[in-house]
Every structure is written in structure tokens, then in C-alpha cells.
Amino acid sequence: MSTHAQSLIAQAEAWIADDPDPVAQDELRGVLDDPAELAARFAGPLEFGTAGLRGPLRAGPNGMNLAVVTGAATGLVRWLAAQSATGPIIIGYDARHGSRAFAERTAEVATGAGFDALLLPRPLPTPVLAFAVRRLGACAGVMVTASHNPPQDNGYKVYLGNGLGGPRGDGAQIVPPADAGISAAIRAVGPLVDVPLGAAGTVLGEDLVDAYVTAASALVSGSPELTIAYTPMHGVGGAVLTAAFEAAGFAAPAVVAAQAAPDPDFPTVAFPNPEEPGATDLLLALAASTGADLAIANDPDADRCAVAVPVDGRWRMLRGDELGVLLADALIRRGAEGLFATTVVSSSLLRALCTARGRAYDETLTGFKWIVRATGGELTFGYEEALGYCVAPDLVRDKDGITAALLAAELALVLKREGRTLVDRLDELAAEFGVHATDQHSVRVDDLSEITAMMAKLRASTPSTLLGEPVTAVEDLLPASDVLILRTASARVVVRPSGTEPKLKAYLEVVEPVGDAPVPAPPNSWVQ
């Protein structure tokens, strides 16, 4: 046996001795004679970044498991104590494998450190957790979820309250330097057997959920005349969204029966993300059979929202950029003032709209942790092209797929009464500002060093033309972010590594005037 293999086995045996979960101990013992598997599990600790933790459910330091969660929770509460944080820690969880156990362990670590721990009453959407952090004056919040990742994953997102996050970060995801401070505290935890565990914490009542539903539904004025089909995609959004729609005056949506109940195995979809091919097939079949005016999908933790509309007997999925601009336009037409924000990889149409309508605009790095901290005014609306929308930042300072769905439904209702659709409004915006066609291209890798090499090569030999036009501007966002932006007179390409997957992503945009010509649907928009 090689020295490296012996070292891995010694690390594994030491981990087993300190692991608080007997099932995980047995799991690791079962791979002691598998050098490749052992190397993967001990390749390094699961990194704690600005979105917290996310990774596969497996024993060992490079996975999501009770030991890793215990260490993460301990580092978090010790960091909070070092900042003299006051107020409770709110803990939420979705219906994924392990989520409830990880949430309950976080509560025990928090109470063991002298904090009040308040758990959401059941598996609930991420926006409810973000809402609770603000409403209950928490010092921090933890949401156990892997959002739209595959079933073998789980994750751990951290939010800060007003005391440490400040006004723009009250109820928002952490950003530097908090992430680095928490990460350092996690690395310094030491043996888990020495971590004091307290009581199970206090389980909050349904009144917290009712308060969210009441506040969300008050944002819009609905009517039963709009027919809606909906799927929570085996996630936890169904009951909350249905309650919010009914409270707002809409009829209860028709729900895809096979995807209505939370199921951590996501059996009817290859990948539980509304953006993935085939993920909304059952939704659109239901929408067609019920004659729906609108089809809505949430991802499993309901912080994202996808919308499809019928056009001449076919269904068209709206891109995130399209729905984002439609929601911004709807708010502006209501008379909403304040700041409108998106990211450097989103369509430039929001900038054009805000310039024409006299609204403040800001463009941030990717991620809602940055969008909600946009500068130049009090945030009114923010969106990212990956189906994330913040339509009520005073309510939820994060992306919220439920309030976004409500606003999209209200807009569809207003347009239906005028004999028009969401696509008609998009065409009107295109006639005014030109078609802002966007798309993505991704390169998936097995070795992350390939991404580093590709970014270095692109920086060393940046193209001088795109689509036959000269590149007029190159913007490199290093060191703040590993992002490269190329612009021509009518096109833009943004290249960056994915923050959650082993991919290099290129975000593409072309702007073309249309005049009186028909506006074509974007590529791959027609799904049924």
C-alpha cells in the first residue's frame, strides 16, 4: 500500500472517530478499501463561500453530512459571538434528504452557544426564511437547501440580519468579508466531540407563514378570471404559493399532480430546474389541457420562477431576461420609483428601459447577494437572468419565486383584460428599444483547472471581432470577479466560471432594431 493510501486511511479513521453520525461512520468504513472514492471524499473540505455550503450527500469532509454541518454551524455561531451579535438565529429547511436533521443540528449548536434558535414549522420555501430574518429581527438565518441541484446534493445558505448585514443586507445572503470570517471560524472548530449541544430550539408557529402569505398577496390585485397552471417541481413551494394566490384574489392554480408533493428524489424530472429541457413538460401538458392563460413553475425551494404563455396554440417559455424586464416594466407603469438593478450577465434592456423612463439603474456582479446591495437609491426591483426576481425588497431581500409569480400573474391579468398577452408587451418593448436577444453557452469540465486555463487563454488573446464587427470595448472585472466582457456596436459577450457548477459560461446578447417587422421568438422558446 502506498504512503498516500495509508495517509488517506489514517485521515478517514480519524474522521470516523469524531463523526457524530453512526450511519456516516459505517459509510466511511465501507470505502476504506476504495482508494479513488476515499480520495474524492478527502480531497479537501467542502468550501464555505458566499452562498454557504453546497455539495453531494456523503460522509467525509468533502460532502454534506452531519459532521460537516456541525462544524459549519459551530463556526457560524462562534463568528456571530465574536461580532457581539444579538437576536435569534432563524433556521429553515426544504424537503431534501437530510435537510431536517441538518436544521435541527444547527439549532442544537446555536442553543449550545447561548443563542436562541427558531426553526420554521415545516419544510418551506427559501423566501419564507429570508422574510423571517427581517420580520423577527434575527442576527442571522440559515436555510438548508440545495435549491435546484440534483437529488444527491444538499446545501447550507447563511443570511445576516440588520445588525451585521446593514440596511441593504438585512435578510440577505452573506458577502465578503463575512464569508471569509465564517470560513476561518469553521476551520478553527477542532474536535466535534467538544462542541456543546443545547436544546432543540423553538419551533415557530404557522402564524409566521401566514404573515408571509398576507404580505405577499397584498402586493397585487388578482381575479379568478385568470386561469393558471402550476408546478412546485417536487419542492416545497406548492402550499405557500397556492395560499398566496387565493389570498390575492386569484383562483387556485391547477397543480401538476405528479409533482405536487415534496419528494427529495424528484422522480419525474431529469434535473429539478425549470430551465432544463423537459423539466416543464408535465406543466405545459396540464396548461394545455386546462386552457390556462399562464403556466408557472417554481424550482424546489421556490426562490426561482419560470413562466410560459400560450401563443397561437403553442407554449412559449419566457427567458429570465424577458420576464425580468416585463416585471420591471409593470412596476414602472404602476408608478414605482427607486432603484432597478440587474447583473453584468443579464440583458442590457433593463438599462435602456430605466434610462428612457427616468429610473435609477445599477449593474452588479452575479448573484442576489450583490443585486440587493445595489447602489444609487433605495432598491425597488432586482433580477438575474437565471429566473431570479426580487419584486418586494422590503419583504424579502433575496430572490423570491412566489412574489414574482404573483406579479407576473397580475400583469397577465391586466393584459388579458386588454385582449393582449405578455408576449404582446414584449413585442411593444422590442419595437421601442430593439430586440435584445440573449442566450448562453456553457462548457462543462471534469477538472476545474481547465476553466482557469481557458480564462487565461481568452485574456491573453482576446478576439478583435465578433459577428464581423470590431470589438470596441473589453472590460476585465478582476480582481473583484473572474469576469471578462467584450462589446461591439450591437453585441456583447460575458464570460465567467459558474459559481455552482464545473462550467465555463458565456452569456451572449445581440441588439437589433425591428421597426415594423414581426418580432421572432428567441431560439428554443417554443416547447410545446
Residues involved in catalysis: 147
Please tell me the distance from the alpha carbon of residue 395 to that of residue 236, in angstroms, as a whole number.
19
Q: Which helix (H) or strand (E) holds 307?
A: strand 305-311
Q: What is the DSSP string of 159-218?
A: EE-HHHHTGGGTTEE--TTHHHHHHHHHHT---GGGS------EEPPHHHHHHHHHHHHT
To the nearest 10°, report the CA torsion of 72, 73, 78, 80.
Answer: 110
Question: CB-based contacts of 109: which residues, under 8 Å, 6+ apart?
Answer: 70, 73, 74, 77, 195, 197, 198
Cell numbers at residue 196, please? 456543546
Please tell me the distance from the alpha carbon of residue 285 to that of residue 441, in angstroms, as a whole number.
28
E strand segments, 302-378: 305-311, 314-317, 339-343, 360-364
Question: CB-based contacts of 5: which residues, under 8 Å, 6+ apart?
Answer: 35
Name the residue type at position 209. V
Question: CB-based contacts of 65: which residues, under 8 Å, 6+ apart?
Answer: 19, 21, 24, 57, 58, 59, 98
Helices first, then strands: H and E counts in the chain: 17, 23
Residue 225 Cα to chain centre, angstroms: 31
84: number of Cβ within 10 Å: 9
Please tell me the distance from the alpha carbon of residue 403 to that of residue 245, in angstroms, as a whole number.
9
Question: CB-based contacts of 281: which residues, under 8 Å, 6+ apart?
Answer: 527, 528
Q: Checking DSSP bridges between strand 172-173 and strand 153-160, what pairing results, if any? A: antiparallel
Q: What's the farthest any 2 CA atoms get from each other in the chain?
A: 76
187: number of Cβ within 10 Å: 12
For the chain, give percent helix, strand, coil, nearest 5: 35, 20, 40
Location of C-alpha cell 491573453: 460
Cell numbers at residue 85, please? 451579535
Q: What is the C-alpha end-to-end distance of the chain, expressed in Å?
A: 57
Question: CB-based contacts of 145: which residues, under 8 Å, 6+ apart?
Answer: 92, 93, 94, 96, 99, 126, 154, 155, 157, 300, 301
